[in-house]
Structure 1
Amino acid sequence: MKYNVYTNIRKIRELKNLTREFVADELKMTASGYGKIERGDVDLTVSKLIEISKVLEVSIEFIFKFDISIFFNDKNNNEN
């Protein structure tokens, strides 16, 4: 089963209003290379995941467990 790590990295970056170019620059890589990470076109190493988590200012655990739905109201959660 493929983890949603790649998608989660992209979503977290977007929620923080960071560009691919900014993150790539912080990681000392090309925007194209970083884009391949977000698309899941390349295998992500543990060391690169650690670097990405630092740039995004979140824990690695947060990246693995991230769920975009927590930012939106679910009507079932709002019923009284």
Structure 2
Amino acid sequence: MKYSVYQNIKKIRELKNLTREFVAAELKMSASGYGKIERGDVDLTVSKLIEISKVLQVSTEFIFKFDVSIFFNETQ
């Protein structure tokens, strides 16, 4: 579960065509530091998650529940 939050942050950022550098700058941190968040190399605090959700313009709940498959209509 923990890892999926990090993956979701990355996927949402990519779908919004935002660079890591842009998001990092908005969060007032280095791009490499932000990259560690997306990779799950560091623990994510609630306050940082809230900041990220504001930059991505989504709710924190959306980040937790995000499922990339909703963007692809795959019928089998």
- TM-score band, normalised by the shorter chain? over 0.9
In 2, Cα distance between the equivalents of 1:32 and 1:54?
A: 20
Structure 1: gaps spanning 5 or more residues: none
Which residue number in structure 1 is paired with residue 41 of structure 2? 41
Q: 2:38 is matched by which residue type in structure 1?
A: E
Q: What 5-or-longer segments of structure 2 have no aligned partner? A: none
CA deviation after TM superposition for structure 1 residue 29, in Å: 0.0
Q: What TM-score does the superposition give when structure 2 sets the normalisation length?
A: 0.96
Taking the TM superposition and a 5 Å limit, the aligned residue runs for 1:1-80 are 1-76=1-76
> In 2, Cα distance between the equivalents of 1:28 and 1:12?
19
Secondary structure of the 2:18 match is: coil
TM, length-normalised to structure 1: 0.91
Matched length: 76
In 2, Cα distance between equivalents of 1:27 and 1:51: 7
Q: Computing the radius of gyration over CA atoms, which structure comes out larger, 1 or 2?
A: 1
Q: Which structure is higher in helix share?
A: 2
State the superposition RMSD in angstroms: 1.0
- Equivalent-residue separation in structure 2 for 1:28 and 1:40 (angstroms): 19
Q: After the TM superposition, which parts of structure 1 deviate over 6 Å for at least 4 consecutive aligned residues? A: none
**Deviation of 1:3 (Å):** 4.1
SS class of match (1:4)? helix
User: Which one-letter code corresponds to 2:48 in the other structure?
Assistant: K
